[in-house]
Amino acid sequence: MLNFLVKRLLSTLPVLLIVSLLVFLMLRLTPGDPAAVLAGDAASTEQIAQIRTNLGLDRSIPEQFFIWAGHLVQGDLGQSYYYKTEVTTLISQRLEPTVSLALITITLAVLIAVPLGVMAAWRFGGWLDKGLMGFSVLGFSVPVFVSAYLLIWLVSLKLGWLPVQGYKRIADGVGPWLYHLTLPAVTLSLIYIALIARVTRASVLETLGEDYIRTARAKGLPEVTVLMRHALANAAVPIATVIGIGVALLIGGVVVTESVYAIPGLGRLTVDAVLARDFPTIQGVILLFSFIYVMVNLLVDLSYVFFDPRIRY
């Protein structure tokens, strides 16, 4: 187990290196000049050129990359062009809203999707099963921003139950914190619920046809015990896998959801940085998202040992 963990941690280094290189090149090769954005519309050519020199953008792309990479290995993500603040400081300031939204979304999705998937498999072909399949198709088809605006119109504007936008830090109280994050979390969890519920249904449906399920029922075990301790437990590996894969959807959804609900998190920071052509901030946030994604998948792989004792690393 220790050797596997060390190898996986070491394997994250080339992954992050490739991601950083690709992001760096994509930002430099796409149209748009950060110096022109910072200088404003009324700036002269000489003023823009001076800003480019100050930012080091007048150097060659390889030289810019090696300078940035040299700072990166020392834990320095650089200074934001737009905010004039260290990128690590910006990220630390925006981390709480994003982590809060992600954790609530994952918790809500798992608590709803797994029981739904189990019930749909148990009542295969029934109205619950058909309804879940229809919801899965709808959940994948409707973009996050469309769901967000529909929920804002219904829940906030028509019913007045939850706020339209804004965020309260957990230091201000758990109640206000949950009050402002409930609607964004519900919005973001819809696609996640559709994904997890569908995979749960398929996995549990497959295990319900196994011999040990018939044996458990023949012993007179309650149906709840059969479903939870035997069917769901043996179907947990693919469910855990799809939860890890869904983190990519979650990261993409956070960017849209935070923008719609005006949540000052990393997603909103990414959008603002892209609009301002703030290269250091974009690179820092994407690197962080990539690292989180790799770590979540590592945790998912390690969870297989607990779900299936036959798996050894």
Q: Kindly report the CA angle at 233 between 231 and 239, in degrees rounded to 5?
A: 100
Q: Which two tokens stand for residue 125?
A: 């072909």
pTM of the model: 0.87
Beta-carbon contacts of residue 249 (< 8 Å; ≥ 6 apart): 191, 192, 195
Report mean pLDDT in 10-residue bins for the chain, 313 residues.
Answer: 72 82 86 82 82 86 89 88 91 92 92 90 84 82 89 92 90 92 93 90 88 84 83 84 80 87 91 89 90 84 75 64
pLDDT at 265: 92
**pLDDT given at position 294:** 83
Residue 298 is predicted with a pLDDT of 81
Q: Domain limits of the chain?
A: 2-60, 87-307
Could you please state the CATH topology (level 3) that the domain comprising 87-307 is classified under.
Answer: MetI-like fold (1.10.3720)
Amino acid letter, 213? I
CA dist list (Å): 284 to 77, 150, 220, 262: 6, 33, 57, 21
